[in-house]
């Protein structure tokens, strides 16, 4: 059933909770730079995630692990300068919060103070409970992330679907409730069975944002470069490509090169 969309001038954490109550789906995309963030924000996307996926997309690393806190702050600062409406959430990178709640708080404070972001995101449940509490106690909004958690890829050994077995599914449900009780305003649920994701979304009052988690959740997130076809190597089942920018950009660059070499560019109207 479609729900009448309410106009929100500025998206906040409360907005997202209200949207869930209203049955209104939440759209979320990644951005890592000013220009892309300006376009995403202008399109009316509710949440912009400055993801540690910048490690893959922007720097070409195989995993999200190498990106540093300083680099995340740089990307986040660029994004924040572009937006007028979207909520900006920033991943705290690997190694900046898992081992010590005090370090987690220091990392979150640096992101908020130096980038101007609106919230941070962390991966994990019970294992990082104390870090989440420490950040929240400082008044910093936290988004959780359960299911496939890319920062733990070497622990999993694979990017396959998570929580297919009963034991892991039960832990995921418990972790979602734990994160809600701790004070998280939303949770990303990545690459888990759709039925399980729906159960989780119905068991908590905070929004569940899915990526590869079916349509029974409260919203969806994709990596922008994947969904507009700038990247071609990544082809999971959950990815829908809305553009083929790789082909369009390649064609434009090739045409530019031909025009330069032929002397067609610049023409009389394109010079002083």
163 Rama class: left (phi>0) / alpha (psi -120 to 50) / beta: left
Q: Return d(Cα 40, Cα 42) in angstroms, integer.
A: 5
Per-residue pLDDT of the chain (272 residues; tens, 9 = 90+): 556 667 889 999 999 999 999 999 999 999 999 999 999 999 999 999 999 999 999 999 999 999 999 999 999 999 999 999 999 999 999 989 888 999 999 999 999 999 999 999 999 999 999 999 999 999 999 999 999 887 765 555 555 677 677 888 999 999 999 999 999 999 999 999 999 999 999 999 999 999 999 999 999 999 999 999 999 888 999 999 999 999 999 999 999 999 999 999 999 999 99
Contact predicate 65/91, CB 8 Å: no
Look at residue 158 in the predicted model and tell me its pLDDT: 52
- Overall residue count recorded for the chain in this entry: 272
Look at residue 4 in the predicted model and tell me its pLDDT: 61
Between the alpha carbon of residue 130 and those of residues 124, 137, 217, the distances in Å are 11, 10, 27
Which residues have C-beta within 8 Å of that of residue 99, sequence separation ≥ 6?
A: none
202 is catalytic: no
Look at residue 156 in the predicted model and tell me its pLDDT: 53
Q: Return d(Cα 137, Cα 234) in angstroms, integer.
A: 38
Look at residue 210 in the predicted model and tell me its pLDDT: 98
Contact predicate 225/245, CB 8 Å: no
Catalytic residue among 167, 190, 233, 254: 190
Look at residue 91 in the predicted model and tell me its pLDDT: 98
Nearest to 189 by CA among 162, 169, 210, 168: 210
Look at residue 270 in the predicted model and tell me its pLDDT: 96
Look at residue 153 in the predicted model and tell me its pLDDT: 56
Q: Return d(Cα 169, Cα 198) in angstroms, integer.
A: 12
């Amino acid at each position: 059933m479609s729900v009448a969309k309410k106009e929100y001038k500025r998206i906040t954490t409360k907005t997202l909770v209200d949207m869930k109550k209203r049955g209104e789906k939440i759209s979320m995309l990644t951005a890592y730079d000013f220009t892309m963030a300006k376009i995403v924000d202008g399109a009316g996307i509710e949440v912009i995630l400055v993801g540690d996926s910048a490690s893959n997309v922007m720097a070409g690393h195989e995993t999200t692990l190498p990106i540093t806190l300083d680099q995340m702050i740089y990307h986040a600062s660029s994004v924040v300068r572009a937006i007028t409406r979207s909520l900006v959430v920033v991943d705290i990178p690997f190694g900046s919060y898992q081992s010590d709640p005090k370090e987690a708080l220091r990392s979150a404070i640096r992101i908020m103070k130096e980038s101007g972001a609106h919230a941070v995101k962390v991966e994990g449940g019970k294992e990082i409970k104390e870090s989440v509490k420490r950040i929240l106690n400082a008044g910093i909004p936290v988004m959780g992330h359960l299911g496939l958690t890319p920062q733990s890829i070497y622990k999993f050994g694979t990017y396959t679907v998570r929580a297919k077995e009963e034991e892991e599914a039960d832990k995921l449900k418990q972790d979602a409730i734990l994160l809600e009780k701790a004070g998280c305003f939303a949770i990303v649920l990545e690459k888990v069975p759709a039925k399980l994701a729906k159960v989780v979304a119905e068991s908590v009052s905070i929004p569940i944002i899915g990526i590869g988690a079916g349509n029974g959740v409260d919203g969806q997130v994709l990596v922008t470069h994947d969904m507009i076809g700038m990247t071609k190597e990544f082809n999971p089942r959950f990815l829908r490509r809305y553009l083929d920018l790789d082909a369009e950009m390649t064609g434009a660059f090739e045409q530019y090169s031909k025009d330069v070499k032929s002397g067609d560019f610049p023409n009389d109207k394109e010079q002083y």
